[in-house]
Amino acid sequence: GAVVSQHPSWVICKSGTSVKIECRSLDFQATTMFWYRQFPKQSLMLMATSNEGSKATYEQGVEKDKFLINHASLTLSTLTVTSAHPEDSSFYICSASVSGSYHEQYFGPGTRLTVT
Amino acid sequence: SQQGEEDPQALSIQEGENATMNCSYKTSINNLQWYRQNSGRGFVHLILIRSNEREKHSGRLRVTLDTSKKSSSLLITASRAADTASYFCATSNAGNMLTFGGGTRLMVKP
């Protein structure tokens, strides 16, 4: 149980385009979903926390107009990277929590974004 | 700065040997968790140890926590080639933030 999927697993796009990444909790309802970014050989950086039906809470330094997060249902959250640039190339990982607690998060497999 | 810092950053051992990774943190925590990440893939939760616990076991994994030294260790016994991955510690504090360290890259040679 507690499976989280992400789609796509890898996306290559041209600079200036927008890319949408989906995060789904497959067998449970997630009140809270988290979005992380991971640079090569580095740890995760929390980008934002989204609760179903409300606006996402962004971490300091994360541009909310560039990284649009929508959490329209208890099983789906989306991250849209708008007007992507090569420096946005990274590994984006979502996680989902049943209780909204940071203590128990179930991670998706990640999405590799390459912007050319 | 990162809350958790793993040591060593990279570790290479032979199959069958034990692997020990350490994690240090700076502020008080509610619990500490260890995760594994295979190359370019998602994170897998391994074990959670609460601040009032000192040691925890799960299969071939043994985790210790020393809150006085603000450190934790992850021991993998009788390592296998399939254990090759990056291992991260993550701390959770009273503010309910989960903060990851930089990770230890473990290579287990067959």
Nearest to A42 by CA among B76, B102, B51, B105: B102
Q: What is the mean pLDDT of residues A47-65?
A: 89
pLDDT value at residue B1: 34
Q: Which of A91-95, B27-31, B86-90 has the lowest mean pLDDT?
A: B27-31
More confident residue, A15 or B40: A15
Going by pLDDT thresholds of 50, 70 and 90, the confidence category of residue B51 is: very high
Q: What is the mean pLDDT of residues A8-23?
A: 91
Distance between A111 CA and the closest CA of chain B, angstroms: 9
* Of residues A43, A101, A108, nearest to B102 (C-beta): A43
Q: Is the pLDDT of residue B42 over 80?
A: no
DSSP chain B: --S-EEE-SEEEEETTS-EEEEEE-SS--SEEEEEEE-TTS-EEEEEEEETT--EEEETTEEEEEETTTTEEEEEE-S--GGG-EEEEEEEE-TT--EEE---EEEEEE-
Question: Which residues on chain A are in Cβ contact (under 8 Å) with B50?
Answer: none
